[in-house]
């Protein structure tokens, strides 16, 4: 197996790779990845997004990954290889890139294409958490009475939503996927990606809601809803202030999303939830969502030991 910088490849070499990925997401997740792949290809072709490919027989691309470093954090957005050896090869090569030398920790959020990915990450001493991809059909049972306390989210709600996310996720391990250190600037960047980016679908402003609280600027809840395809509505974020929990607000915002989907001819609702987020999982179970796949979130500090192959001391002694 041979590695190449993906920026050296012509677009035609990447076309079949993207097409396979687009079909995989469409079939398994009902997620139209085409807008994200177009953004990736633009950044790859203009040289701003580092990445690597693994070459197989006949120079075909049999593995690929891309990554970037922001604020000292190496973020890996895809990690594809057919075998655990291929995944480890990619990881070790990423760690050796000039970009990675600027990072002090590594974070991944990927949709793995084989169990090899999770085991390879564990072998490289990443802490790995599964995020269940959950789905339910939108059917006639999704009719819900309109809750007049819920209002459409507007641009000017942004700062209040950021503060709500920071309060709602304080002490929740799953938050590391969104705001790795829980800083308010990380939450602001995360919300901006949700509302203006395509990585988690396109924002559906009419279905994204806020629940005003008793004091100005202090929301009780918020739901961010996106489109993953013409038929799939995605709950990209749901948060309730700790002081407003267990009063049914989370469930009402979820019901409002399902009711919106019913009136707009969407057939499927999806969301992602961390395996250790038991309150949220209880809510989604109660509303009929079932897991249909998983993403992996993985993190580890970066140090020189990452690159050092381990030689079992026993074999040295016995040699
Ligand atoms: C998950 C969250 C949105 C739930 O909001 P909420 O308003 O407290 O939820 P609700 O009161 O509507 O609860 C509805 C149902 O969910 C389940 N549920 C909610 N919180 C629960 C908890 N802490 N433990 C067990 N079940 C829980 C119950 O089945 C509950 O019904 P019940 O109260 O009749 O038993 C809230 O806990 C939160 O904001 N958590 C932090 C952010 C987060 O994890 N968001 C989800 C990301 S995927």
For the chain, the domains span: 2-124+299-318, 135-288
Hey, how many other C-beta atoms are within 10 angstroms of the C-beta on 115? 9
Q: Report pLDDT for 108.
A: 96
Rounded CA-CA distance 299/92 in Å is: 15
* Residue closest by Cα to atom 48 of ligand 1: 273
Q: For residue 210, what pLDDT band results from cuts at 50, 70 and 90?
A: very high
Question: Average pLDDT in the 251-278 region?
Answer: 97
Establish whether domains 2-124+299-318 and 135-288 are of one fold. Answer: yes
CA 173 to ligand 1 center in whole angstroms: 16
Q: For residue 124, what pLDDT band results from cuts at 50, 70 and 90?
A: very high
Predicted confidence (pLDDT) at residue 318 exceeds the cutoff of 70? no
Q: For residue 305, what pLDDT band results from cuts at 50, 70 and 90?
A: very low
Around ligand 1, the residues with Cβ closer than 6 Å are 168-169, 172, 238-240, 245-251, 273, 277, 279-280, 282-283, 286
Predicted confidence (pLDDT) at residue 311 exceeds the cutoff of 60? no
Q: For residue 309, what pLDDT band results from cuts at 50, 70 and 90?
A: very low
Q: For residue 58, what pLDDT band results from cuts at 50, 70 and 90?
A: confident
CA 204 to ligand 1 center in whole angstroms: 23
Q: For residue 127, what pLDDT band results from cuts at 50, 70 and 90?
A: very high
Q: Report pLDDT for 145.
A: 86
Q: Report pLDDT for 298.
A: 97
CA 138 to ligand 1 center in whole angstroms: 21
- 2-124+299-318: CATH number: 3.40.630.30
CA 240 to ligand 1 center in whole angstroms: 8
Q: Report pLDDT for 54.
A: 94
Hey, how many other C-beta atoms are within 10 angstroms of the C-beta on 26? 16
Ligand 1 atom closest to residue 221's alpha carbon, by position in its atom list: 39
Q: Report pLDDT for 32.
A: 97
Of 3.40.630.30, 3.40.50.970, 3.40.50.300, 3.40.50.1100, which CATH number belongs to 135-288?
3.40.630.30
Q: Report pLDDT for 317.
A: 33
Q: Report pLDDT for 174.
A: 84
CA 247 to ligand 1 center in whole angstroms: 9
Predicted confidence (pLDDT) at residue 288 exceeds the cutoff of 70? yes
Predicted confidence (pLDDT) at residue 315 exceeds the cutoff of 60? no
* Residue closest by Cα to atom 4 of ligand 1: 250
């Amino acid at each position: 197996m041979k590695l190449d910088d993906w920026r050296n490849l012509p677009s035609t070499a990447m076309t079949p790779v993207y097409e396979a990925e687009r079909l995989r997401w469409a079939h398994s997740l009902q997620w139209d990845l085409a807008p994200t792949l177009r953004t990736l290809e633009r950044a790859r072709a203009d040289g701003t997004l580092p990445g690597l490919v693994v070459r197989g027989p006949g120079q075909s691309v049999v593995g690929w990954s891309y990554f970037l470093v922001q604020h000292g954090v190496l973020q890996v957005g895809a990690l594809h290889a057919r075998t655990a050896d291929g995944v480890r090869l990619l990881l070790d090569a990423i760690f050796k890139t000039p970009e990675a030398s600027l990072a002090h920790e590594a974070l991944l959020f990927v949709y793995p294409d084989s169990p090899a990915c999770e085991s390879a990450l564990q072998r490289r001493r990443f802490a790995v958490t599964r995020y269940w991809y959950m789905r339910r059909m939108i059917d006639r049972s999704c009719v819900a009475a309109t809750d007049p306390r819920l209002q459409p989210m507007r641009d000017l709600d942004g700062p209040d939503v950021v503060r709500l996310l920071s309060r709602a996720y304080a002490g929740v391990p799953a938050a590391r996927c969104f705001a790795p250190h829980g800083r308010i600037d990380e939450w602001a960047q995360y919300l901006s990606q949700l509302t203006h980016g395509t990585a988690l679908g396109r924002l559906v402003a009419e279905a994204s809601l806020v629940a005003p609280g008793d004091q100005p600027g202090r929301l009780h809840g918020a739901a961010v809803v996106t489109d993953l395809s013409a038929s799939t509505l995605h709950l990209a974020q749901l948060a309730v202030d700790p002081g407003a929990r267990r009063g049914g607000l989370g469930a009402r915002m979820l019901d409002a999303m399902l009711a919106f989907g019913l009136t707009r001819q969407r057939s499927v609702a999806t969301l992602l939830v961390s395996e250790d987020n038991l309150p949220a999982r209880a809510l989604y179970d109660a509303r009929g969502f079932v897991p249909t796949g998983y993403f992996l979130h993985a993190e580890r500090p970066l140090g020189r030991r990452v690159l050092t192959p381990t030689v079992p001391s026993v074999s040295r002694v016995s040699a």
